Structure 1
């Protein structure tokens, strides 16, 4: 409930601080006294966009602050999801700076208008002429019926599965688009993949092939040089091995004369062994260095294939070609298996569709079950409000489409008088009738939902005194379970309030100021008398006012 409202530097208000209690609160005041200003200020803390022109003093900032007791509204998850501190007494503050910049805070945490308006909608329901037009909107009509049908949890379940269904549809569309485009590329991708697979790519193979090609194409030169090297080592007279043999013999004879000579002998022995091993290596390489034109052609062919693949795919690295091959394999495999993926997704869609049909049918069944009761309550209540011939025609028809609230088409028609055709509510009902219908609907909803604070802005416009008395009774009854405000110009309504506030103007310092105060019992008598008979109070008006209060 709204427990306190503070307004500074807004329109005709210098400073206003007023506290409210639970129950039924009536707000009265002469035309132009500033009741709309009060609502305008309140709307700012509910998320309405700010207007710099509303600043009374253009050099000072406007501050509007409201306190709400929110324990009964189950808003803990909302605060958690929006990173806000949850407090049972929550304070909302809105500031409009002279620069035109606007700031909003919930429990001293800065928030944007989207978060503010979402919270505001769950704290106060301001009923105005504009909102009355919602009667003709299917969304509002569904909300009313689903509240009576207690479809809240069922709708949450349905909407969760609907999101899954829509996700499956989206994925199926993506797969089918992929298939359509992939078929065009499949043949070319398969060709490229076969070409890369045929090359039997391996990391390092290019270097190995280029080395092998160099050896095969220069085999004569290699053999010639190997032969020369072998002769240098093995010549009978001046060969290195023969000379090292003599040197080894010398060092062996010296080795017995000390450790230095022994070490020298070992080093020469090592050199001899290495030279002998090199000679064997020369011999082995010569034996394997035969000319092989066929192998040379094979290596050259492989090299040319690699060079062509590198050029085609714009890379010099075999590792990149291997990566491209893997990517092509994925594309080709995906294309070749896309049909099975599509079939699997279609099966998934059929199952989800079947589940949605069942959930939608359950929701529809509950709606149709409560429709006669809603029709009965509406017509009975409206009869008491001076509309004895009011009738509703509420009809359901199935829809093939999955809508966000099920598979029902709703026809919600109204007739105010006997013998007249049923039609769209906003077309066939007058302003006063619309107000009474909306009040009736809200009173019915209050029995089934934990509604926020309700503020009725002159909902009694266009109705007679007796009817307004009955409307006041309805609002008073609603206020037993919730906080209800009524901005009214009728004494019959104002007299029913548990609390009565008056909005008034006064001139000070050559400026007009709007103020608001709670009236005492005696002040209420005077206010009601003035509403009944004008400023010139008569005994009969005062007596009538006391009678209304009693």
Structure 2
């Protein structure tokens, strides 16, 4: 529910603060006093409308889906809309997009002045019907949904397999082609690096041997250096070691380059080109080898597809029988309860002074809901063609049916002038249904009829002081005066006050 609402600077309102209770909350007042503005700003505070108020803010008891929104719940969550240069929305002072706040609010608040067909969607109507049946339907529904999930999974796998089977020849040929392409080259991991190193050595072989030949001239002068060191009485061991090490390095280099004489340079270059082509196609030699293994596995799978398909077909046929039987059983239970559902719905419609509705259960393809479609028509008229007043009262009847099985309390219904153009009896009938709905909902309603107004658990007068709109929660005696004004106009008669008191006393 909404526990508190605050509004600042919006059209004729400078400031308004409402401390709200659970139950039926009625707003009344003269035409043009700002009642609709107030409702619009409450909707705007929770992202279901937009207005130019400086601030509109609602403190609510609704739980926030912390994982979905990334926001944390407080003991009381504060939803806020601020309009300066642009609209901004906040929950607990943390910024949130209008789409996100709207999605969250829609789980808890319904605005019945909008022609919203969500309460007549198949899933919701079947849920009400199943709750009427009771535990037997709910257990059967759970078993059905589990079986349907398994059935859908196997069906999808089989469809994929059959689709693959249609392309099997092409897929097998492609897999073989790719395997042969890689096998023809027969690459080894790291081979490309080794060949590139050989190519590098070949490219510098001639120049390196020429330089080594020149460097070997130093050994022709080695004895002169040794003699000079002996003459100087210097130990020549360091020089001998250095020359021996140099001799070893040059000899090893000559041997390495001599070994390259046996290598076919053209063969090396061709091999590097083959491996380069694989790398260009697959990314690396390692990836080419991995891709070949993948294609070998696919080829094996294609070879075994008939076996796999046969097993899936057996599972599918078994699950198809099971899910169809469960759907038939669910349809049977729903069909037996349908007349009672229709009767209870029409009882509410009778209270609301509406003609009877017809309820039809028809079959369609299997879904997670079963095989049933539940449709409601008012006097055989499509819901899209009935009047707005009839549509909203029919929604009330459906919500009343639904509320009989609801366990949670905290949802909010907002109605602008649902009793507009209704007779006194019709207005009272709407009020009685709304009163029933307050077991599960906090309900905000604008009313111009004494009957509905008198049923309010909380009554706010919206009035103008000069050009400024203001609100005031009414006491019992103040309610009498306001209802009397609704009955007789600005000149309040004693008879109107008497009737107003009788209404309030009767509904206390």
Q: TM-score range by the shorter chain?
A: 0.7 to 0.9
> Which structure 2 residues correspond to residues 512-523 of structure 1 after superposition, within 5 A?
512-523=467-478
Contact (CA 8 Å) 2:46, 2:105: kept in 1 or not? yes
> Which structure 2 residues correspond to residues 134-533 of structure 1 after superposition, within 5 A?
134=118, 137-138=121-122, 140-142=124-126, 144-145=128-129, 148=132, 154=142, 161=149, 165=153, 172=160, 176=164, 185-186=174-175, 188-197=177-186, 201=191, 203-205=193-195, 207=197, 299=264, 302-303=267-268, 305-309=270-274, 312=277, 322-323=285-286, 325-330=288-293, 332-333=295-296, 335-337=298-300, 339=302, 354=319, 357=323, 361=327, 367-368=334-335, 370-387=337-354, 390-400=356-366, 402=367, 405-416=368-379, 422-427=380-385, 429-449=386-406, 450=408, 452-506=411-465, 508=466, 512-533=467-488
Tell me which residue corresponds to 2:59.
67
- C-alpha spacing 1:307/1:175, structure 2 compared with 1 (3 Å): farther
For 1:307 and 1:143, locate their aligned partners in 2 and report how far apart those are by CA, in whole Å: 69
Secondary structure in 1 matching 2:7: strand
TM superposition shift of 1:105? 1.3
Higher mean displacement: 405-414 or 163-172: 163-172
TM superposition shift of 1:413? 3.6
TM superposition shift of 1:492? 0.9
Tell me which residue corresponds to 1:534.
489
Which residue of the other structure, out of 101, 105, 116, is the alignment partner of 1:120?
105
For 1:304 and 1:195, locate their aligned partners in 2 and report how far apart those are by CA, in whole Å: 17
Tell me which residue corresponds to 1:40.
40
TM superposition shift of 1:164? 8.3
Tell me which residue corresponds to 2:66.
79
Contact (CA 8 Å) 2:192, 2:275: kept in 1 or not? no
TM superposition shift of 1:198? 7.6
TM-score (norm 2): 0.74
Contact (CA 8 Å) 1:27, 1:488: kept in 2 or not? yes
Q: Whose radius of gyration is greater, 1 or 2?
A: 1
Higher mean displacement: 121-130 or 20-29: 121-130
- C-alpha spacing 1:525/1:186, structure 2 compared with 1 (3 Å): same
TM superposition shift of 1:117? 1.2
TM superposition shift of 1:484? 2.5
Which residue of the other structure, out of 94, 105, 127, is the alignment partner of 1:109?
94
For 1:49 and 1:360, locate their aligned partners in 2 and report how far apart those are by CA, in whole Å: 43
TM superposition shift of 1:308? 4.2
For 1:162 and 1:10, locate their aligned partners in 2 and report how far apart those are by CA, in whole Å: 55
TM superposition shift of 1:267? 8.8
Q: CA offsets, 1:133-165, max 9 Å, x none?
A: 556554553454456567699499669948984
TM superposition shift of 1:88? 2.6
- C-alpha spacing 1:206/1:117, structure 2 compared with 1 (3 Å): closer
Secondary structure in 2 matching 1:438: helix
For 1:199 and 1:525, locate their aligned partners in 2 and report how far apart those are by CA, in whole Å: 97
**Which residues of structure 2 form unaligned runs of 5+?**
none
TM superposition shift of 1:325? 3.4
TM superposition shift of 1:351? 5.4
TM-score (norm 1): 0.69
**Which residues of structure 1 form unaligned runs of 5+?**
56-60, 227-231, 233-239, 245-249, 255-259, 417-421
For 1:142 and 1:378, locate their aligned partners in 2 and report how far apart those are by CA, in whole Å: 14
Secondary structure in 1 matching 2:70: coil
Tell me which residue corresponds to 2:29.
29
TM superposition shift of 1:128? 1.3
Q: CA offsets, 1:471-513, max 9 Å, x none?
A: 212222322444223221111111112222122223x3xxx22
